[in-house]
Amino acid sequence: MDAGTRLAARPLRTRPRRLRHTSALRTIVRETELSPADFIYPLFIVHGENVRDPIPSMPGIHQLSIDRAIEEAQRAATAGIRAVLLFGIPAAKDPVGEENFDDDGIIQRAIRGLKEALPELLVVTDVCLCEYTDHGHCGLLNHENPALPTGYVLNDETLDILARVATSHARAGVDIVAPSGMLDGMVAAIREGLDEDGYDHVPVMSYAVKYASAFYGPFRDAAQGTPKFGDRRTHQMDPANVREALREAALDIEEGADFLMVKPALAYLDVIRRVHDAHPEVPMVAYNVSGEYSMVKAAGERGWLDERSITLENLTAIKRAGADLIITYHALEAAGWLKSR
Ligand code: PBG
C-alpha cells in the first residue's frame, strides 16, 4: 500500500465535500439564490427625444430620454426585473433646484410615462437636491448664519423641499420614494408631507446608511451632480464607522422608513449584515454603486477578470450579507445571465 492509498482510506466520518461532488448536490444545498426579482435597475433620465447617450465611465449605461427609458424598462421587465430607480437630469439648475418639485419636471414626466406604458413595473425615485442645484450640493447652502461655515448644507431648511419633491413624485404616480441626502429628519419630513397630501400608501425607501464614498465617482458624471466645491462629509457617513450605521437605521425606522438601504455595498458587507441583524423585520436594500460597477467593467474589458462570473459572485455576496434587494447597474445583463444559466 503506498502513502496515497492509505490517506484515501482514512475513516473520516465528517466530509463536507460529500455535498459538493456533483452539480445537483451543490444546487440542493445552495443557501443563497440570486433572481432577477432581487434587482432594482437605475435609469438616468434626460430631456429630449430619442436620446441614448453612453456614459463613458459606466460601459453599458446611458442617459436616456423618456421614450428610450420606456424601451429600456420594457427590456428590464421582460428579463424579470420588477423595479427601476429614476434619476433626473434637469434642463436648468439653480440654487434651490426648482425643476425638482415641478409637476412637469423631467422625473414627474418620466414617472407618468413609465406607469402608463408598464403599469406593473415599480417606479422608485431618488429624492435629493444635488442633480438639480447649480452648486451640486444635496441641500440649501448657508450664507447667513455666522455660526455655520458658508456653503454648509442646511438641514431643516432643506427638509421642506424634500417633502415637496416627494409629494410631487407621488402626484405623478410614483410607487416608492427614496431620499438619498442623509439629512437628519428627512424620512419624517417626507412621511409627513406624503400623509398630509393623501399619499399615506406610498412607501419610503431610505438611504439610511450612506457613506461619503469615492465609489460614487462615475455616477456623478452620469447624473451631473458633482459638488462645485467641498464634499459631502458633513452629512454622509465616515467609512470608518459602523455603530453609527445602527443609529442611523434605528432613527429612520422610528421616522417611518419602510425599507432600509446601505450604500455602497461591496466594501460595506459587514454593515449590511449588522443593519439587517439589528432590524430583521425591515426589508434591506443594498446599493451596488457606480464605482463598484465600473471596476468590474474595466477589468472585464481588459480580460483581467471573467466579468460574468465576478458580477454574479459580487451580487450573490451582497445577498448573502443580508440584502433582500440590490440596486445595481448590472441588473439587466445579470438578469439575462441568470435566465440562461
Ligand atoms: C445623490 C445620489 C448619489 C448616488 C445616488 N444618489 C451621489 C452622491 O451621493 O454623491 C450615487 C450612486 C452611485 O454611485 O451609483 N442623489
Residue 110 neighbours by CB distance under 10 Å? 28
> Which residue, 39, 40, 111, 99, is CA-closest to 69?
111
Q: DSSP letter string over 6-53? A: HHHT---S--GGGGTSSHHHHHHT-S----GGGEEEEEEE-SSSS-EE
Cβ burial, residue 273 (10 Å; 0-12/13-18/19+): middle
- Ligand 1 neighbour 216 (Cβ under 6 A): yes
Any ligand 1 atom below 6 A from CB of 128: yes
Reading the chain (341 residues) residue by residue, the pLDDT tens digits are 555 555 667 788 899 999 999 999 999 999 999 999 999 999 999 999 999 999 999 999 999 999 999 999 999 999 999 999 999 999 999 999 999 999 999 999 999 999 999 999 999 999 999 999 999 999 999 999 999 998 999 999 999 999 999 999 999 999 999 999 999 999 999 999 999 999 999 999 999 999 999 999 999 888 888 999 999 999 999 999 999 999 999 999 999 999 999 999 999 999 999 999 999 999 999 999 999 999 999 999 999 999 999 999 999 999 999 999 999 999 999 999 998 87
Q: Which atom of ligand 1 is nearest to the CA of 131?
A: 16
Among protein residues, the one whose CA lies closest to atom 6 of ligand 1: 180
208, 179 Cβ separation under 8 angstroms:
no
Q: Which ligand 1 atom is the nearest neighbour of the CA of 290?
A: 15
Instruction: For ligand 1, say whether the CB of 126 is within 6 Å of any of its atoms.
Output: yes
- pLDDT value for 91: 96
CA-nearest residue for atom 14, ligand 1, is 216
> What H or E segment, with its residue span, contains residue 247?
helix 243-255
Distance 220 CA to ligand 1 centre (A): 7
Give φ, ψ of 13 to 5 degrees: -90, -35
For the question of residue 339 being annotated catalytic, the response is no
**Looking at residue 220, what is its pLDDT?**
86
Catalytic residue flag (residue 263): yes
185 within 8 A of 159, measured Cβ to Cβ = yes
Q: Is the CB of 205 under 6 A from ligand 1?
A: no
Give residue 176's pLDDT. 98
- ∠ Cα 200 280 250 (to 5°): 65
Of the residues 93, 115, 228, 263, only one is catalytic, namely 263
* pLDDT number for residue 339: 87
The pLDDT, as a whole number, for residue 341 is: 76
pTM: 0.96
Longest C-alpha distance within the chain, in Å?
Answer: 88
Query: Quick one: cell of 112?
Result: 407618468
Q: Is the CB of 290 under 6 A from ligand 1?
A: yes
Instruction: Give the pLDDT confidence score for residue 224 in this predicted structure.
Output: 86
C-alpha distance across the termini of the chain, in Å: 44
Report in angstroms the alpha-carbon separations of 69 from 7, 106, 112, 228: 61, 12, 12, 28
Could you say which of 93, 115, 210, 228 is catalytic? 210
Please give the distance, rounded to the nearest whole angstrom, from the Cα atom of residue 2 to the centre of ligand 1.
62
Confirm or reject: Cβ of 38 under 6 Å from ligand 1.
Answer: no
